[in-house]
Amino acid sequence: MLDPNNPEDVLSIEKCRNIIKEILNFGVSQNEMLKIIELISLELENREIMTNIINCIKQKEINTNNINKELVI
């Protein structure tokens, strides 16, 4: 992880914030943000972290679908 207290990481953190700013400038929805996070996680070298992120996103989808089904009934 990048540490904001580490002077060597400050430029990398700024770069990350600029990337996020560009993504938000596209006017992405919450669902699009989740898809972007999912796609980026697939590029991670650490498979455990990748699967944890994917599982969180999938669980959010399951919970949302269940709530939507309850609202229809």
Q: For the chain, what are the domain ranges?
A: 10-72
| 3-class secondary-structure state, position 5 | coil
9, with CB counted inside 10 A (0-12, 13-18, 19+), is: middle
Q: Which residue has the tokens 């919970």?
A: 63
pTM of the predicted structure, to 2 decimals: 0.74
Confidence of residue 1 (pLDDT cuts 50, 70, 90): confident
pLDDT, tens only, 15-30: 999 999 999 999 999 9
